[in-house]
Amino acid sequence: MSAGPAPAAGYRRLSVPARAALWLAVYLALVVVPLFALLPDMTTPGAGFVWDFAMALGYAALAMLGVQFALTARFRRATAPFGIDLIYYFHRYLAVFAALIALAHYGVLKAVYPVLLGAADPRLAPAHMTAGRVALALFVLLVLSSLLRRQLRFEYDLWRWTHAAVATVAFALALWHMLAAGRYLDTAWKYWLWAGYGAFWLALIGWVRLLRPWLVARDRWRVVEVRPERGRVVTLALERASGRPLRFRPGQFGWLTLRASPFALKEHPFSIASSADHGDQVELAIKELGDFTSTIRDVRPGETAWFDAPYGNFSCDLAPAARGFVFIAGGIGIAPMLSQLRTLADRGDRRRHVLVYGSRSFGRIALREEIEALERRLDLAVVHVLHEPDADWTGQRGLITQQVLERHLPRPADGYEFFLCGPTPMSRSVERSLAALGVPAARVHSEIFDWV
Ligand SMILES: Cc1cc2nc3c(=O)[nH]c(=O)nc-3n(C[C@H](O)[C@H](O)[C@H](O)COP(=O)(O)OP(=O)(O)OC[C@H]3O[C@@H](n4cnc5c(N)ncnc54)[C@H](O)[C@@H]3O)c2cc1C
């Protein structure tokens, strides 16, 4: 897929914070406008503050849960100002908030108006009331199973499937409950507004689960090389069957599907490790970590692949005026750094850059020779930090600490942009060290590999 249609000139002139503010306003409007639409032409007399409040909670929860589908729909323009990882965090914590609001809707009614709620027994209760209760239970289940996925050892692909299916069913049940209960939907236009609003989110699910995979499926890629590297890393080189180069910014990532249909929801995110100036062949550096990544070594040239890209805003191209770049990587976090360094080298960049790279031992520094080649092509200082080095290693030992950074950062560091990618504890600790060294947070860009 291409980078999508170019944004309108007015949008392009907006700064990144202004774009973020615009999309936040869109989010708030999507949640709040349907609520205010309930207020005019009210023909049912109000039943007191507590009742109205409980109803408002129900509508607010439904509106928020609807927008949840948009948050994970990977709309490039809307996600770009924030970064897709932040959007997923937003999705996760808003889900908790929305589920709490839905629980409060039920809890207040149960506490204050138990008679109006009626029997809980599905054999006695109206079907739409049972639908509401089931939807609530499913929402709570969705939130808990997502927050505790790792602790529950819920396999990722299975979790993803059930999460999508249960969320769709729960939302449809909640919509039915709301339309059939019909409180405040006493005029036709309000009824159809909310019915249309619900249908819109259900149609969005159709787009995400059917139409987009169909578009991805039409854009076939081919594996052209599988290259084992040091440190249990495999480089996978891909070419588009159509021959059309991929346009991307160095440091961006895509979703890879191999040996499965794009409809199967078995895609995995990987940073592009190759140069953005050579979009005709895209390389991914994949660390063997689990079920999927351990199969990459067995992939054969000629196999079909799908690569839905580009995504993300972890890119030196977004800071063209920087004096130079400091890349701080741990393990396979080197992948998006390589893409940026290779692109800078291809463009004949003359600025001073620093790469601080944490690995286990010298023999396991992934893509070490590639980095040495880049040192020759760029004004690049490379600092390897090894946490289990051999006895004869004379370089930096241990972790990437504040002392290590202080020793190797460019002086003065003003005007430099900092890019971090590695295990979350490393990224968090380096962020703290950079803050302690006086680097403004706005100059620090992090890519997180384990946000799901
Ligand atoms: C933006 C981004 C860029 C990444 N770039 C790289 C890279 O360049 N090189 C690299 O080696 N790794 C990269 N990763 C990590 C890579 O996606 C995971 O290591 C891989 O998906 C794990 O799959 P597995 O089945 O082998 O491992 P498992 O052991 O099955 O899963 C380990 C963990 O990886 C995550 N995961 C598993 N499957 C998926 C999936 N389909 N989608 C999202 N997350 C999943 C889950 O949190 C899971 O708990 C990146 C991740 C992100 C988010």
Cβ(278)–Cβ(248) below 8 Å? no
DSSP, res 326: E
- Tokens at residue 120, please? 């809980």
Q: Is 268 in the pocket of ligand 1 (CB under 6 A)?
A: yes
Q: Whose CA is nearest to atom 28 of ligand 1?
A: 290
Say if residue 48's pLDDT is above 90: no
* Residue 224 CA, ligand 1 centroid: distance in Å: 22
- Say what the pLDDT of residue 411 is: 83
- Say what the pLDDT of residue 1 is: 41
Say if residue 49's pLDDT is above 90: no
Q: What does pTM read for this prediction?
A: 0.87
Count the helices and strands in the chain (H runs, E runs). 14, 12
- Say what the pLDDT of residue 2 is: 42
Q: Which residue has the tokens 């946000």?
A: 451
- The H or E element containing residue 255 is strand 253-258
Cβ(309)–Cβ(260) below 8 Å? no
Q: How far apart are CA 452 and CA 449, in angstroms?
A: 8
For range 188-202, the mean pLDDT = 88
Residue 452 pLDDT grade (very low, low, confident, very high; cuts 50, 70, 90) = low
Mean pLDDT, the chain, whole residue set = 91
Task: Give per-residue pLDDT as tens, 371-409.
Answer: 999 999 999 999 999 999 999 999 999 999 999 999 999
Residue 139 Cα to chain centre, angstroms: 21
* Residue 449 CA, ligand 1 centroid: distance in Å: 7
φ/ψ of 62, rounded to 5, equals -65, -40
φ/ψ of 139, rounded to 5, equals -60, -45
- Tokens at residue 370, please? 């590639």
Say if residue 166's pLDDT is above 50: yes
Q: Determine the residue of 268, 294, 332 to mutate for testing ligand 1's pocket, defined as the one with the most ligand atoms within 8 A of the Cβ atom.
A: 268
Q: Is 450 in the pocket of ligand 1 (CB under 6 A)?
A: yes
Which ligand 1 atom sits closest to the C-alpha of 452? 47
Task: Give per-residue pLDDT as tens, 22-47.
Answer: 999 998 888 888 888 777 666 565 56
Say if residue 127's pLDDT is above 50: yes
Residue 78 pLDDT grade (very low, low, confident, very high; cuts 50, 70, 90) = confident
Q: Is 314 in the pocket of ligand 1 (CB under 6 A)?
A: no
Task: Give per-residue pLDDT as tens, 223-243.
Answer: 999 999 999 999 999 999 999
Residue 3 pLDDT grade (very low, low, confident, very high; cuts 50, 70, 90) = very low
Q: Which residues contact 277 (CB under 8 A, 6 or more apart)?
A: 343, 346, 347
Which ligand 1 atom sits closest to the C-alpha of 269? 17
Which ligand 1 atom sits closest to the C-alpha of 451? 53
